[in-house]
Amino acid sequence: MPWNPHMSRDTLEYHWGKHHRAYVDNLNKQIVGTELDGKTLEDVILATYNKGDLLPPFNNAAQAWNHEFFWESMKPGGGGEPSGELLQLIKRDFGSFEEFVKELKAAAATQFGSGWAWLAYKANKLDVGNAENPLPSEEDKKLVVVKSPNAVNPLVWNYSPLLTIDVWEHAYYLDFQNRRPDYISTFMEKLVSWEAVSSRLVKAKAGAA
């Protein structure tokens, strides 16, 4: 890792240049000429989730979305602590910033096999996939840490994703081999962009209002 101690050029070239690229290319092949063609990525994800035969386009659409979101969750010289309303809500919903980091790291480290760990804004208190909360209140709206297998992301639960860590092996194996916790710590301490997370929180709250 000659030029970047936190995420190597090799990892970026494989992860962004080959893995992410393949999800985009495969999705485009799978949906050409179908009714999914021309929909937004988010709409393809919601239209294909848990729909049996539509699993291949779901996987590729969700992975394309997740990766774009992941790249935009980091920046050179990232890390540190959030500020403003984001920090206030983290303290309210997790007790402290340290407790939140502990919870997110644990979710990322314990996702069995491939998947993702997330900070999300949850605007609806019901955890039932096919129901809406008829009487939403301000108290329902909170930050949550969740993990998801394979390509699944919190959009399918009607949560607003704010931050993600890719814990597929392709995200860390070249730099950290099997040491997933070291990759997660490096991401949180050196790469995460709290500015990106804060601006997503603003949009999530506006969308839930």
> What residues are designated binding site for Mn(2+)?
15, 67, 166, 170
**What is the total count of residues that contact Fe ion (CB under 5 A)?**
3
Contacts of 126 (CB under 8 A, 6+ apart): 132, 133
- Which residue lies nearer to Fe ion by CB, 65 or 168? 168
Report the nearest approach of Fe ion to the CB of residue 9 (Å).
16
DSSP classification of residue 137: -
Q: How far apart are alpha carbons 53 and 31 in whole angstroms? A: 13
Give the footprint of Fe ion on residues 134-193 (CB under 5 A): 166, 168, 171
Report the nearest approach of Fe ion to the CB of residue 174 (Å).
12
Give the footprint of Fe ion on residues 50-109 (CB under 5 A): none
The count of other CB atoms within 10 Å of the CB of residue 8 is: 17
- Which residue lies nearer to Fe ion by CB, 49 or 65? 65
The three-state secondary structure class of 165 is strand
Contacts of 105 (CB under 8 A, 6+ apart): 181, 184, 185, 188
- Which residue lies nearer to Fe ion by CB, 89 or 174? 174
Q: Contact at 8 Å (CB) between 180 and 108?
A: yes
- Which residue lies nearer to Fe ion by CB, 159 or 172? 172
- Residue whose C-beta lies closest to Fe ion: 166
Report the nearest approach of Fe ion to the CB of residue 62 (Å).
11
DSSP classification of residue 192: B
**Sign of the CA dihedral running 106, 97, 119, 159:** positive
Report the nearest approach of Fe ion to the CB of residue 118 (Å).
14
DSSP classification of residue 189: I
- Which residue lies nearer to Fe ion by CB, 166 or 175? 166
Report the nearest approach of Fe ion to the CB of residue 185 (Å).
18
Q: How far apart are alpha carbons 142 and 94 in whole angstroms? A: 10
Give me the residues that bind Fe ion (CB under 5 A), please: 166, 168, 171
